[in-house]
Amino acid sequence: MQAIRAVFREPIRTGKRGCPRLRPWDDIYIAHVIKRYARRRVVGVTRRIVQGSREQIRALLERTQGGGTINTAYIERLNGVFRSRIAALVRRGRALVRHGGSDVPGGHHLQLLHLA
């Protein structure tokens, strides 16, 4: 969570010298979903709102997904798309990543999303 909050912020300009203080973006809503597993099965899900109010997030879910709860389906689906399109990310594949994660096509998106 700290990495996401460190990225999505902007400086408060005061006109004074030195490094300005940073504040989070107004229009970003962050929710944290933690799944607990036992014997490869999900036994519990904890949902926590990190930034934004419950009403704002509920309205956003209604607008984008037609309702429901905070879940990990979007990120899991996106990770599946990345794995199917980028050979170096396939699980147990034989393709080699020749450089670090940022040199993989689309790697900058993966680094941001996996922090969530």
pTM higher than 0.85 = no
Residue 4 within a domain: no
Residue 23 within a domain: no
Counting the structural domains of the chain, the total is 1
Residue 62 within a domain: no
Quote the CA–CA distance of 83 and 79 in Å, as a whole number.
6
Q: What are the CA-CA distances from residue 7 to residues 1, 10, 61, 93 (Å)?
A: 10, 9, 23, 32
For the stretch 17-62, pLDDT in tens is 988 888 888 888 888 888 999 999 999 999 988 888 889 888 888 8
Q: Which two tokens stand for residue 104?
A: 């993989």
For the stretch 77-100, pLDDT in tens is 888 888 888 877 776 666 665 555
Residue 77 within a domain: yes
Q: Which domain holds residue 90?
A: 72-116
Residue 32 within a domain: no
Residue 110 within a domain: yes
The closest alpha carbon to 28, from 2, 48, 53, belongs to 53
Residue 81 within a domain: yes
